[in-house]
Each structure stands twice: as structure tokens, then as C-alpha cells.
Structure 1
Amino acid sequence: MRRLIAVLVLVLLPVPALAQDRTQTLADIRAELNTLTADVNSLKAELTASGASNPNVAGGSALQRMDAIEAALAELTSKTEELQNRINRVVTDGTNRIGDLEFRVTELEGGDVSKLGDTAPLGGQAAATVGAAAATSDPAAQAGSADPAPDLAVNEKADFDRAKGVLGQGDFRAAADQLKTFTETYPGSPLSAEALLLRGDALTQLGDIPNAARSYLESFSGTPNGSFAPDALLRLGQSLGTLGQTPEACVTLKEVGARFPGTEQASQATVSLQGMACQ
């Protein structure tokens, strides 16, 4: 009976309470639902075997209550799977769009598009593996589905600040070179998005618009929901416009308003769209 009470308390908790830990993934939630479902089935078997299926309980017999709980768990599991599928569709569509932008920028630079590798999944590896992680109830497998935020290396912040300082002094060539060295020395750095954005700014000042566009694209695609993503996407669209790629520029600038409505960058994108007479 104590097990029954424990399960009822967990199941009857409001959904927001189950989602209080913001680090919990859909895979974690689905695993918990699977565990609760197994507990409910086990308790039903115990009640039936012990002959305790008919005691009166508020709302019906014990087995009736268990059936209701089991149905609620099944509905929650179904909604979790539906949400997971929607996320996977968004990741696939977003990754394809970024891959198309990478292809177009490489063409503009006169690069070899055949050497382009696979586009990194939108949102990083954790988003790409959410479907596979949710398919198992193994806690160890789920724990490995998302990488923790990396710590800064010993000289990482100092190197970044040095390059940023050079940019502030107006030495755009040196700044572009140092920021490129930074991203190569510290791949996956939490400062990469800003470093790539600043490198794009330095290259823009040097008139190297194709490489500036690529740097903005790398900044955005690495962290499409990060704090520097609106600026990176805006400047990518503006760079494409400068290169004469008006249709691509219009699509990119419209995406700024769609992804980041109400922001200063969205307002600037609207101005740029009007200047290019985008439909």
C-alpha cells in the first residue's frame, strides 16, 4: 500500500512540478513515465493476486483507480512522443536551411562546394540525439545525451580579450587573424559565437565581405539560439545584400524578424528589407 501511495503522489503532481528542473530532457521525462507505468502494472498485479481489487476508494475501486492512472500515463507518454517528433522536425528543417546557406556562401567565395562536410545539427549534438536517447529508459544512456557546458581553458579568456581589444583599437587585419586563431585554438569554446561575430565585423571593415558572411554564418549556426545569434543572422543577411545576392538576403533578413521578434535586430532587418525592396 505504501508503494501505491507513492505512485499516486507522483502521478497526481501537476505537470509543471515535474518540469521544475530545467535541465531535464524529454528523454528523462519519458523514462520516468515508463517507470511509473511499470510500477502501476506491478501494483495492479499485486492487487489482483491479493484479492484487494474491490475495496472502496474515493472515486471507485482500487483497480478502477489504477486503470484511470494507467490511462493518464499513456496519454502523457503519447504527448511527450508527439513533442519529441515536433522538435526533431524543427531540427531537421533548420539544419537543412543552414546547410543551404553554407553552400551559397561557399559558392560566392569561389570555394569548392564538394569539400563541404555535413552541417552540424541545429542546436548541437544534444538536439540531434534527443530521439535516440528518448527511445531507451536507460538512465546512463540519457545522461550522455547532452554535453555539459565546457569550462574556459587557462588562457582562453585572456586570448579572447586580447583579440577583442585589438579590434577596438581599429587594427582590423590583426583582429581578424587573432580571432581566427582563437576559434582554431579553442574549438567549441563558449566564446566562439562572439569571436566569430567580431571576426565578421573585422573582415567587413577590411572589405572582405564573402569571408565576413561565412564568419557570421558560422557564428549563427553554432548557437542559433544564443545571445549573439540575432546580430549574426542580421549581419549575414546584410552581407548577402552587399554581395548582390538579393533573394538570399531577403530570406535571411525575414528570418531575423521571425526568429527574434520585437528585438532591435528585427527592426534593423526590417529597414534593410525595405532598402532592398524585398517582397
Structure 2
Amino acid sequence: MKKTLATSIMARLGVAGAIASATLFALPALAQDTRLSLADRVSRLEQQSQAQAGTTTLVNQVNDLQQQVSQLQGQIEELQHQNQQLQDSQKAQYADLDSRLGRIEKGGAPQGQPAASSPPPSTPNPSAAAVAGASAAAPAVAASAPSQPASGDQQAAYDAAFKSLRAGDYVTASRGFRDFLVKYPDSPLAPNAYYWLGESYYVTMNYPVAIEAFQRLVKQYPQSDKVSDGLLKVGYCQIELKQQDAAIATLKQVTAKYPGTKAAGLAQERLRRLQRQTAN
């Protein structure tokens, strides 16, 4: 009986020992599995963080690109507006010059005595030295326009240059008027030649050379009936050259010195436009 009891106890102790041994051996493996699981979780979290950071960077880049596109769209709209203004100005210039030349052709002004004008567009830029060269051959100041009529040769040379102007060949016209002034500096047609020389440059938007021709007219032929028109065009050139203060002063000078003339009316109208632009 005692022997049987002892055997039973020993058997139970063996099972308990086996269970304990198995538990002891299982604990390191469980701990290792737990560590691996934590490492995986950390790795996944890092991957998620990196993905979120990449998404944030991409969103910022998209926002930057959207801002740049908006800025470019604004610049395009401004350029389109400026281009439209230039086209409108060119159309007005052509229309004005065409109407004045039309009046001349219909006998609205004596031959060699055309009227004033407003602005017209673009061809090659002739040299300012050409105007200076023509001016050097002209008298320093003419107190009044010469009274004697132009000779046949003078009239023919002047008419040839003016014909080119009417045809829209502004390069040939400017060359013709320059040659005329060099060859016939004392001609009674010289004031008009200076005016139309300036006009041929103005139409092609060569404002620095145009203003020089108009200023020569104003200074050298102060008694010419083209002076008011020439001074008006000096103001127009100053506007195109962004010389706003000088342009306003010149246009006011036109209205003060030549009241009641068409040039004065055009000067007043342009002054009003400048004031509206400044107010806006």
C-alpha cells in the first residue's frame, strides 16, 4: 500500500516537473515573439510616418505650383491688356494719319502745307544722326518761313517723299525728307519736311528720333504754321517715352500758346485722358 502511494506521488511529481520544464523553455520563445512583434509595429509606424511626410511634401509642392500658375496667369492677363492697348493705339494712329492724308489729297490743305496729327506702328528704326545731319544743313533759327515759292526741283523732291508717306512706305518717306532737308535747307517747304519727317518716325514708333525732328521744327521755324502741330507731337512722343511730367508740361504749353487751334484741342483731350489714367 505504501509502495503504491509512493509510486503515485512520484509519478505526479514527474508530470509537474515536466510541465515546469516546458513552461521554463517556452518563456524565452514567447518573449522573443513579443520583441519581434514590437519591432514590426515600430517599423510599420516608421513607414506610415514616412508616407505621411511624403504626402505633406507633395501637397506643399502642389500648393506652390498652384501659386506660380496663378501668378503666371496674372502676368499673361497683364500682357494681353498691354497688347490690346498697343493694338488700339496703332489703329488710332493709322486712322488719324490716313484721315489727314485723305484731306490733303482732297485739297483740304495747300500743297506742302499738311495739317497736324495724332499717333501710328513699326518698321526698322532709322538713325537719329540722320535727323541731326539734316538739321546741320538747315539755318539755326528762321524768324519766319521764307516767302519765295519752292522751285520745281524742291517741289518734286518734296512731293516724292510725301507720296511715299501716303503709300505707307515710311522708311522711303523718312529717307526722302532727310535728303530734301540736306539738299534744300532754305526751302520754304523745310518746316513741313521736318514735320513729316517726324511723323514718318512717329508712325513707326521710333519716338526718340521723331521727337528730335519735331523739336527741330519748333526751334528753327517758330513762325511756321506747323509749330503748334509739331509741339503737340513732341508731347505725344514724351507720353510714349514714359516722360509723363514733361508730356503734361508740353501739352499745357500747346494749349496756352495756341488757343483755339486744333492742336490745342487735341492737347486738352490728351491731358484729360492722362488725368483719368492717373486717377485710376
TM-score, normalised by the number of residues in structure 2: 0.47
Q: Indicate the structure (1 or 2) with the bigger Cα radius of gyration.
A: 2
TM-score, normalised by the number of residues in structure 1: 0.47
